Amino acid sequence: MIFGFFGKKKGKAEEDEEREIEPVSFQGPINGQEVNLKAHAKLVEAGLVRAKDVVTDAMALRADSVKIEPKGPGGLVTISIDGIPQSGGKLSKPETLAITQVLKLVAGLDSKERTKPQQGGLKAEFEGKKYVLRVSSTPVPEGERLLVRIQDVAQKLETLTEMGMGEPMRQRLREILVQPGVILAVGPPGSGTTTTMFGLLKNVDSYQYTVFCMADPGGRTLFGVSTYDDKPEGETLEDSLVRLSRKEANVILVDPVKSSAVAKPIFGKAADLTLISEMPAKDTTSAVTQLVQVVGDAGVVANGLKALVTQKLFRRLCPDCKAPYRPKPDFLKKLGLDESVKTLYRVPPPPDDPKEQPEPCGKCGDVGYFGRVAMFEVLEVTPGIKELIQKGADPAAIREELKKEKQSTLQKDGLRLVAEGVTSLEELQRVFKPA
């Protein structure tokens, strides 16, 4: 049984009676391999129950991730609820090590390897719901940092529509995705780039086109997509692309673009295939200049690149308690919103009379937000953008052309979601506030 939620302040119901929660059930790695717990009996005894405590407490608070990292003489737990981090308590040094290693073990990772980054995941069940826990470990000077991302299987965020993309943008990408060339999902680590990349793949009509996936799908179901499992030992990426093109492939998803060893081969086949991938970058315009650097030829990038897609996650207003208000027409005009928008929404304001306290929202716990959604930006390589790439323009010049052509930006897409009542202006301002 789990009690206390890391010692956080109790709500009204918890003041009357402390809640008991059945711990999370770990149900094996997502890659299907067997984990021999008996062979790691000491580690399991030291860390399994405590690891379940940490994950259970986080899930009970509706967290979307848990971070466990060594700090000084012990360790810290940080949980994230709808993207907002908060303290999850402190651990002793032995607890930190045991919890980290046992979570790696049950996620199908090498619990003894502590010098290299690893990624995996496991299936789980909590309070009658199925979850996938995606686990990644990263070496740090004091040991290892472990991040557990919590995904409710029933709340799928696999297609671009499920992520929040508007229909006109999705349809335009559907057209671009079947043109030969390179389409990349870009963004900082942890921003949802991999999810967007697979969303792009799912946006292709796999009944009409031959689609291959060379990257690890991470437990995702890809209908109508063939995996490339018969790669001969020692085969290069360039050789693989040639083999798949001989199999009449139209669209191929490849591993992340992090070096010239990946970038050059995919741009080398950009005239014949649609190649989807991801790349870590600050934003779409910065990604262009990074590509020129790793490929080494601005002309090759300009001719081979079709589009860059980035995303930014932010909080949805709670559907049960969001409060409507009528904005002034001049305010809408200043924001660039259509005057046909008559109502916007926000977190419920405090009552005029402090003595009149309304009943707390049972869905969001009076936070005012529940869940997250993404805003998107698509940089389409038009003739104007292509010319700038060829000239070696910097990100600022490309951004200016993007606005001049009235292509959709993150800010514009965010305002769309404000107008639709999905989120608030205050949340949009929070997300875009300089760090």
Q: What DSSP letter does each residue of 139-167 carry, written as one string?
A: EETTEEEEEEEEEETTS---SHHHHT--H
Summarised one tens digit per residue, pLDDT across range 34-69 is 888 999 999 999 999 999 999 999 999 999 999 999
Q: Is pLDDT above 80 for 19?
A: no
Q: Is pLDDT above 60 for 11?
A: no
**Separation between Cα atoms, residue 32 and residue 338, nearest integer Å:** 51
Instruction: Give the confidence band of 297 by pLDDT, cuts at 50, 70, 90.
Output: very high
The predicted model gives 342-371 an average pLDDT of 85
User: What is the three-class DSSP state of 180?
Assistant: coil
The predicted model gives 335-343 an average pLDDT of 84
List helix spans (H) across 148-256: 160-163, 167-176, 193-202, 237-246
Domains identified in the chain, total number? 2
Of residues 17 and 278, more confidence is placed in: 278
Q: Which backbone phi and psi does 322 adopt, to 5 degrees?
A: -60, 145
Residue 434 lies in a domain: no
Q: Is pLDDT above 80 for 249?
A: yes
What domain range is 100 assigned to? 5-152
Instruction: Give the confidence band of 435 by pLDDT, cuts at 50, 70, 90.
Output: low
164 and 30 fall within a common domain: no
268 and 382 fall within a common domain: yes
Q: Is pLDDT above 70 for 15?
A: no
Q: Which pair of structure tokens corresponds to residue 123?
A: 């299936």
Of 152, 171, 194, which one is at a domain's C-terminal end?
152
184 and 57 fall within a common domain: no
**Separation between Cα atoms, residue 324 and residue 259, nearest integer Å:** 49
pLDDT reported for residue 357: 75
167 and 274 fall within a common domain: yes
Share of the chain above pLDDT 90, in %: 77
The predicted model gives 277-282 an average pLDDT of 96
**Separation between Cα atoms, residue 243 and residue 251, nearest integer Å:** 13
The pTM is what? 0.82
Share of the chain above pLDDT 70, in %: 95
Q: Which pair of structure tokens corresponds to residue 284?
A: 């779409």
88 and 221 fall within a common domain: no
Of residues 301 and 222, more confidence is placed in: 301
Summarised one tens digit per residue, pLDDT across range 214-226 is 988 877 788 899 9
